[in-house]
Structure 1
Amino acid sequence: MKKFFNMKKIISFMLVFTMMFVLAACGKKGDKVDENKTGTEEPTPEVTETPTTTETPDKTDTTALAGTVSITGSTSVEKILMDMISDFTAYNPDVKINYTGTGSSAGITDAMNGANDIGASSRNLKEEEKGLEQVIFAYDGIAVVLHPSNKIADLTIEQILKIYSGEITNWSELGGKDANIIVVSREGASGTRGAFEELTGLGDVGLVESATVVEGNGNVQATVAGNENAIGYVSFSFINEKVKAVTVDGIEATPENAKEGTYVLSRPFLLVYNKDTASPEASAFLEYVVSPDAQEFVEDHGGIRVD
């Protein structure tokens, strides 16, 4: 009886052990099914590499620029330069740029002496000034215009000076018809007038008292277009079929000739600086002024782009 009981215990034990083994195996198999087929596990995210780029960041990608930049010099560049400064500092709010119109020569001298960071000039550098670095950011071209019916096609710079100073008063003196010349000029505060007087030499002798003085390129154009005996001067952008632009010393008034310097009534707008002492902020602004965004301001004010 005892032997039978022991045998029964052994069989029972074996049955329990076998069931536990089976259950354990099922559990492992179930776990594997759950992991691979139930979809309850988070999928491993796919890793993609971020492509690298060597493109130059635009002006919205501001760097750690902070400081003050001093610019002195030409008043002729003021309108273009002030718009450029406003745009540049909007994207670089920790940079302050101070501009003071003191004249081209003063701005260049300040740059040579270290009295400013950048000098602004509306003329080419003289031989003794060429130790400075320069950035041309615009060109200024001025066309001399007549009524389309006027047969005069070319004037020399000397003839233009004599007309505007009052020494030549009749078109017949230049091979035209016998009619008094109506001289049309810009107002005294005009940058275009300042450039015209500087380039022709009129600033040294003075405008004829009988001249018709009007404000703006548009008014000069309209006045000349409305009087067959008139002569005026306008920015290149105001040349159209309403007026006739004469050649000056045989050279046509075009942006290409202005950039090449062959058209005498043109000049570059420069920023000059000492490369050994230029701050990061000044260097950044010098790079900005020739950018496409900055060049839009050149066109806005009747200048000629460098790009």
Structure 2
Amino acid sequence: MLKSLKKVTALLLAGAMVLVLAGCSSGTTQSATTGEINGGGSTSVQKIIDAVGSEYTALNPDIKFTYSGTGSSDGIKGAISGTYSFGCSSRDLKTEEKTNLTEMIFAYDGIAIIVNPENTVSGLTKIQLAEIYTGEITNWSEVGGKDAPIVVVSREDGSGTRTATEELVGFTEQLKGSATIKEGNGNVQTTVAVNPNAIGYVSLTFVNKTVKALDVDGVKATVDNVLNKTYALSRPFVAVYDATKVDDATLAFLNFLMSKDGQKIVTKNGGITVL
């Protein structure tokens, strides 16, 4: 009889504990593990954000996550207007864009100057780059290459990569009018990959065997050289949101992005971590 009573008591206590844990779980995590997260902005960060989003939704299957690569300016505008629950920029925000936005640097990146692998030029100075992109230098022979016209490939207005490149290189004149304009890092990469005379610029994460990254001012475009600040063309990756509009699910995702696990994903996808 006494043994039976003890058994019943133990079962009741175990059941009560399960109910308590279930209640605590649903009460403390529901807002962060359910909902819809809609981000957008820089194409340079898309590999990273998509990978982090994929892992986050695997851990939280009731979360719906989307990210649209529409350019840094659009990401910032979307975060301001509420079109996006968070935006991403691959450049520093301008003064007029900072209104009501919280900024979070989650990675750093280098901007690689790329040419076709057949190009014999191995490096350029920032001055030469500026003169190529503004039309003062028009032939590869002027910078040690073969006698061939330089096909300049640039990014669209509003691109964070374009803004950052122009600022870091130090353009003092407008982009040459005959430049080929491509949207997104991937389109620049493929355009340069098929044209032996082309030059373009992309995030380091988009450099592969189909293109060749040039040294800038004698320094190679590598993660180590971005970290030690010897490579001139480097920039932050920034997530932005309006604290008056952001929801718990988005904040939980951004916290995950900044966690050790999130930063490991940043590294795996070519970003330079902030931790």
Q: TM-score, normalised by structure 1?
A: 0.55
AA paired with 1:160?
Answer: L
Distance 1:281 1:290 in 2: 15
Higher relative contact order (CA 8 A, sep 6+): 2
AA paired with 1:271?
Answer: A
Report matched runs for 1:3-42 at 5 Å. none
> Partner residue of 2:104?
135
- Quick check: 1:66 aligned with 2:34? yes
Post-superposition Cα deviations, 1:31-84, rounded to whole Å, max 9, x if no partner, equal xxxxxxxxxxxxxxxxxxxxxxxxxxxxxxx94322222323223322321222
> Partner residue of 1:125?
93
Structure 1 pair 280/262, CA: closer, same or farther in 2 (3 Å)? farther
Check whether the contact 2:192–2:198 (CA below 8 A) recurs between aligned residues: no
Post-superposition Cα deviations, 1:118-143, rounded to whole Å, max 9, x if no partner, equal 12222211122334212222222123
Post-superposition Cα deviations, 1:172-214, rounded to whole Å, max 9, x if no partner, equal 645x47744665869x89xxxx6654444499545657xxxx9
Stretches of structure 1 lacking an aligned partner (at least 5 in a row): 1-61
- Quick check: 1:290 aligned with 2:258? yes
> Partner residue of 1:273?
241
Distance 1:280 1:197 in 2: 33
Check whether the contact 2:153–2:198 (CA below 8 A) recurs between aligned residues: no
- How many residues align structurally? 229
Distance 1:177 1:263 in 2: 23
Q: Which of 119, 125, 140 is residue 155 of structure 1 equivalent to?
A: 125
Which secondary structure does the structure 1 equivalent of 2:53 belong to?
helix
AA paired with 2:66?
Answer: N
CA drift of 1:90 comes to 1.1
Distance 2:81 2:213 in 1: 45
> Partner residue of 1:99?
67
Check whether the contact 1:118–1:282 (CA below 8 A) recurs between aligned residues: yes
What is the CA RMSD across the aligned residues, in angstroms? 4.4
CA drift of 1:281 comes to 1.2
Q: Larger C-alpha radius of gyration, 1 or 2?
A: 1
CA drift of 1:155 comes to 0.7
Structure 1 pair 163/259, CA: closer, same or farther in 2 (3 Å)? same
- Quick check: 1:77 aligned with 2:45? yes
Check whether the contact 1:184–1:220 (CA below 8 A) recurs between aligned residues: no
Q: TM-score, normalised by structure 2?
A: 0.60
